[in-house]
Amino acid sequence: AQKITQTQPGMFVQEKEAVTLDCTYDTSDPSYGLFWYKQPSSGEMIFLIYQGSYDQQNATEGRYSLNFQKARKSANLVISASQLGDSAMYFCAMRESNQAGTALIFGKGTTLSVSS
């Protein structure tokens, strides 16, 4: 079973509008972290935002916020006031437990296209 599911292969949004990128996850570990990364066409992976499983509040970083619904096992990324430079592939990832040696598990990604 997939641990990270991103059901939207592509999303389209106009500049200045908000957009939500969906991510659901599957884990039985009570301690886990959820991450979002951005991959522009240039290829690099840019860390955007982190949410811990025990965090009481949704994470925010500038125009990025994470809509964390633990019971539904979802961690959607919300980008407010979209800009042309937001056009990229976005990956949701999870890291389980507090044990050492655990790697990131990535979803398949969502391509976001922002138009003017």
Partner 1 sequence: DSGVTQTPKHLITATGQRVTLRCSPRSGDLSVYWYQQSLDQGLQFLIQYYNGEERAKGNILERFSAQQFPDLHSELNLSSLELGDSALYFCASSVEAGGHTDTQYFGPGTRLTVL
Tell me how long the chain is.
116
Closest among 20, 24, 21 to 5, alpha carbons compared: 24
Of 3 and 63, the one with the shorter C-beta distance to partner 1 is: 3
Token pair, residue 35, equals 């991450």
Which listed residue (14, 31, 60, 80) binds partner 1 by CB under 8 A? 31
Token pair, residue 64, equals 């990025």
Q: What are phi and psi of 66, to 5 degrees?
A: -115, 120
Query: How far apart are CB 115 and partner 1 at their closest, in Å?
Result: 25
Query: How far apart are CB 57 and partner 1 at their closest, in Å?
Result: 15
> Residue 95: how many CB atoms within 10 A of its CB?
18
Of 18 and 62, the one with the shorter C-beta distance to partner 1 is: 62
Is residue 61 part of the contact set for partner 1 (CB under 8 A)?
Answer: no
Give the interface with partner 1 as residue ranges (CB under 8 A).
Answer: 31-33, 35, 37, 43-47, 50, 52-53, 91, 93, 95-106, 108-109
